[in-house]
Amino acid sequence: MMGFSHALSGWCAGLVVAPMVGLHTLPEVIPFATAAAGYALLPDLDHPGATASRFLGPVTGLLSRFLRLCSRGLYALTKGPRDEDCTGTHRHMTHTVAFAALLGWIASAISQLGGAWAVGGIIAFGLLLAADVLGDWLLVVSATASGFTAYFGGLDDALTTSTGWVGVAVFVGCVMHCLGDAITKSGCPFLWPVPIAGETWYELRPPKWLRFRTGGGVEKMLMVPAFTVAGVLLLPGVWAQLVALVPPTS
C-alpha cells in the first residue's frame, strides 16, 4: 500500500486498540493513535525511496541501508527450498510480525530505561513521521491533546504513564503495515519463520479477486476514503454523538 494508506490504517488501528490498554479519553487516545500511524510507515525502511527512509535524510538513509543488508543476509540464511531466488530486501525482514514484536520490545525497553523523555522522543518520532504523510493537521491535534494533558495532569506524569503502552503502539503500527501489504498483489511474508508449503518466506495474500495494486484505483478510490471515515468515527464520543442526532422513531 501507499504510505498515506499505511498511516491511515495505523491511525484507525490505534483508535481501536487504545481502549484495550486503558486509554479512553481524547487526550489519551490521540497520542497512541498518532504513534501507531507513524510506526505503520517504519517497515518500509527497507526501501530507499520510502517516506521513512527519506525522513531524516542521511540518518534514516543509513538505517535503511543497514536494514536492507540485514534482510538480505537473513533471507539467504533462512530461505526454504521453495522460496524464490531474490535479494530478500524489500518486503522481507521488516515486514514480519517477528520484526514488529522486536521493535515494540525495543521501544518498551528504551522507554523504561530512559524514562519520560525517552517515551516522549519515541512518540514524537512517530508523530512527525505520520504528519509527514497525513499533513500538519496532525501536529495541531496532537499539540492540543498534549497541552490539555499537561494542564490537567502534568506532562511528565502523562509521559511516564505512556511507558506502559508505547511499545504496543509501535507493534500495532508495524503489524498494520504488514496486513496492508498482505492484501496487495505482491503479498507479505509476515508469518516468517513459520514454514508454509516449503517456503519460510511464504507471501500470504487473499484470493486474486480480493487483491489490489499498490497505488491503484481500488486503494485511492475505496480504501483511502474508507480509512478516512473510520478514522473520524472511531474517535471517542463521535459515534455516540452521531447516534444522538438521529431522531427517535415513534
* pLDDT for residue 159: 58
* pLDDT for residue 167: 94
- Cβ neighbours of residue 56 under 8 Å, at least 6 residues apart? none
Rounded Cα distance between 134 and 7, Å, is 7
* pLDDT for residue 23: 87
Residue boundaries of the structural domains of the chain:
3-75+89-239
Q: What is the mean pLDDT of residues 218-247?
A: 86
* pLDDT for residue 163: 75
Rounded Cα distance between 122 and 171, Å, is 13
Task: Give the cell for residue 107.
Answer: 521501544
Question: What is the total residue count of the chain?
Answer: 250
Predicted confidence (pLDDT) per residue in 203-218, tens digit: 998 888 888 888 888 8
Predicted confidence (pLDDT) per residue in 9-68, tens digit: 999 999 999 999 988 888 888 889 999 999 999 999 999 999 999 999 999 999 999 999
Higher pLDDT, 61 or 146: 61
Q: With bands split at pLDDT 50, 70 and 90, how would you rate the model's confidence at 151? A: low
Give this prediction's pTM: 0.91
* pLDDT for residue 189: 93
Task: Give the cell for residue 25.
Answer: 479519553
